[in-house]
Amino acid sequence: MQDKKGRMNGKYIVIVGCGRLGSYLANTLSQWGASVVIVDLHEESFKLLSPHFGGFRLTGDAVESGVMRQAKLDRADLLVAATHDDNVNLLVAQTALKVFKVPRVLARVYDPRNDDIYQELGIETICPITVAAELFLQAVTEGRLPGEER
């Protein structure tokens, strides 16, 4: 944990989407010492942030480049696209990479079939369904099935 804190100190991170995932990441990265800006369309989404969240909240549509300029995306070390919409995540991630030249871009992708498109564009992705499926399969293969001897 100390290592993570050291690495995050002074980093400037923009997170798009303040749902359960976005808010969790924002809370944690902010606790680790990063300077975090979280962007969401709806102000009430920020209720999910912990009272100890030490970053900035920005209400607006991340698809609009004006909003991203307000978030000073050109200065970001990392962008995380974590909205509920794959297409929005793709657009935001691509803009961050190509227009704002953000050195590292991570996007959540819901539909595993979209994964290839992201990869082709050079965007790192995390697909919660694939991750969960792999964990399930691991649990299944490592665990005992009925009829198997120990």
Partner 1 sequence: MTTTTVLVVDDEKNIRLTLTQALETLGVRVETAVNGEEALQKLEHSPYALMLLDLKMPGMNGLEVLRRMRELRAGVRVIIITAYGTIESAVEAMKLGAVDFIQKPFTPKEIRELVQTVLQRGELSADATDYSTVIELCKRSINEGDFTAALLAAHRAVSLEPSSAEAFNLLGALLEIDGKMDEAIRFYRTAVSLDESYAPAMANLERATTIGRDGAISLDGI
> What residues line the site for partner 1 (CB under 8 A)?
9-10, 12, 33, 35, 37, 53-56, 58, 70-72, 75-76
Burial of 102 (0-12, 13-18, 19+ CB in 10 A): buried
Q: Whole-number minimum distance, CB 113 to partner 1, in Å?
A: 35
Report in angstroms the alpha-carbon separations of 74 from 35, 83, 93.
14, 20, 13
Integer Cα distance of 127 and 64 in angstroms: 25
C-beta closer to partner 1: residue 21 or 38: 38
C-beta closer to partner 1: residue 80 or 109: 80
61: its two tokens: 């549509």
Q: Whole-number minimum distance, CB 93 to partner 1, in Å?
A: 20
DSSP bridge pairs for 59? 40
Q: Whole-number minimum distance, CB 12 to partner 1, in Å?
A: 4
- Strands in the chain per DSSP E: 12-16, 35-40, 56-59, 78-81, 104-108, 124-126
Q: Whole-number minimum distance, CB 115 to partner 1, in Å?
A: 31
C-beta closer to partner 1: residue 19 or 33: 33
C-beta closer to partner 1: residue 37 or 107: 37
Which run of H or of E encompasses 136? helix 128-142
